[in-house]
Every structure is written in structure tokens, then in C-alpha cells.
Amino acid sequence: MTARERELPGLFFYDQQHVVIAAVRSVLTYIAVSLYVAIAGPPGMLLALTFRWKDLLYWLGHTGVRLGLLTTGITFRVTGKEHVLRDRAAVYCSNHQSNIDPPILFEALHPRMHILYKHEIDQIPILARAFRMGGFIPVDRRNKEASLRSIEQGAQSLRAGNSFLIFPEGTRSKTDALLPFKKGGFVMAINAGAPIVPVAIRGGRASMRRGSPLIYPATLDIRVGKAIETAGMTVEDRSRLVAMVQAEIERMLQESIAATSRS
């Protein structure tokens, strides 16, 4: 019997133990976050609506994300945080590898980040209501007219000083290779004259695999690039803008891969 064969029972036991621990933590996370939303959501929205405390909704949102990070054991590190624009509205454009990317970036990037989100989330009443009150905008990509209305609504919000997070791939990529970018978020930035800040995120697939409800502890690597200005651009420039942002995200992903291989 080889040394590898002698190790297999131990490795199998370790893997099984790892899955069981992840399952327990995942269940606790789903219960804790669901209870948090059910208990804190209604009074929080009532107070925010009555006294126009939009900041309260963001405080509740960040607290909920931190609760989820604590129970799952997920952490993150940010490189290039100095490129986050605190004094002006911007569109933060990120790749998408896992369902945990949106809440992680919501917590990591900006204290008042708005999000363009899939309209399917509107099926979750309390969460959808909180999203709408917080200024998040649903996008139905299957309905072109509704999608265009959402993009214009987003441009108006940008002009009012609100930053947005977008995932132009439209779905999660199974590899580090980027999927084709949809152009709606770029048109939104051009129409508002707002800069686009490229963001690369890696590590989410190690925490939550596509098709699995289990969440494993992991450390995500987030890289923020320099803002790309859209001032002077028109809608005809959208393809060029997409190419510039995509190239920068690809560059940062390669940096992340290289840094991981050295560690």
C-alpha cells in the first residue's frame, strides 16, 4: 500500500468533516440572517419611511452583511481602496463569480452603495421593499423597455450623487475568464457623466459553489482600479468604454491570480 493510499481514509474523513461543519454554519447563517431581516426589517423600514432616515436602512444592511460574514467565517482584503471615490458618484463595475459577491462588495467598497439588481429579488417582499427604499433599482433584462427605464432611473440617481454597483456579465462566471459584458450600466454612466471604477473580485467560488447552498469559510481578494472618466463620451462610445473597463478588470484578476500563486 502506498503512502497516498494510506492517507485516503484520513483525507475522506477530513473532507466529510469539512462539509458537515460548512453545512451547520450555513444553516445557522440562513436562520440568523432570515430572523434578522424579519425582525429588524419592518420597524427599520417604518422608521426610515416616517423620518426619512435612509442612513438607517444602510446601517441595517451593513449590519446584516456583517452578521452573515461572522457566522460563515468569510473575510476579505481590499487592494486599491484609495481609488474608491467618496466625494462624487461613480459606477463600480465588477466581475461576478459567486452569489456572495454582491453583499461582500456592498460592505467592502462604499458606505452608501446603490445596486442594480435582478428583478427576481422583488419576489422577496421585505428585502425588495428595503431595496427600493434604499434607492436600489431592479433591472428586467428580458423586457427591453423596462430595462431602459431602469437605466435612465439609475442615471438620474447618479446625477443626484448616488454611487452604483453593477455586474455587467449578468450572471456568475464559472472560471476566472470574463463573460461578455452587457452595456446598460455603461450607458447609465455615460448619460450621467459619471466615472466607472473597475473592480475585480476572486475567491467567491471557494466559498459558495454554483448550485450548492453550502457556504464555506474563505478569504476573498478585492482589487479596485483607477476611475475611468466618461465625461465627453456619448452612447456611441459605449463599446470602447466597455473594452477599457473589461481590460482593467482582466488585468487585476491576473494580478490576483499571480499573488495567490506566490503565497
Give tens-digit pLDDT for 16-56.
788 888 899 999 999 999 999 889 988 988 888 888 888 89
Q: How far apart are CA 20 and CA 30, in angstroms?
A: 15
The rounded distance, in Å, linking the Cα atoms of 158 and 195 is 10
User: What angle do helix axes 54-72 and 3-51 make, rounded to 10 degrees?
Assistant: 160
29 φ, ψ (degrees, to nearest 5) = -65, -50
**Cα 112 off chain centre by:** 13
Calpha distance 92→196 (Å, rounded): 6
Nine cell digits for residue 168: 455587467
pLDDT value, residue 130: 78
**What distance in Å separates the CA atoms of residue 58 and residue 125, rounded to the nearest whole number?**
18
Say which amino acid occupies 67.
Answer: L
Q: Closest by alpha carbon to 104, among 224, 255, 261, 188?
A: 224
Region label for 248, one of left (φ > 0), alpha (ψ between -120 and 50) or beta (otherwise) = alpha
Put simply, whether the predicted model's pTM sits higher than 0.85 gets the answer yes
Q: How far apart are CA 46 and CA 89, in angstroms?
A: 27
How do residues 126-169 score in pLDDT, each as one tens digit?
677 778 788 888 888 778 788 889 999 999 999 999 999 999 99
| Between residues 72 and 122, the one the model is more confident about | 72
Q: Does domain 73-262 have CATH number 3.40.1130.10?
A: yes
Phi first, then psi: give them for residue 85, nearest 5 degrees. Answer: -90, 110
The gap between the terminal CA atoms of the chain, to the nearest Å, is 33
Which DSSP letter does residue 175 get? S
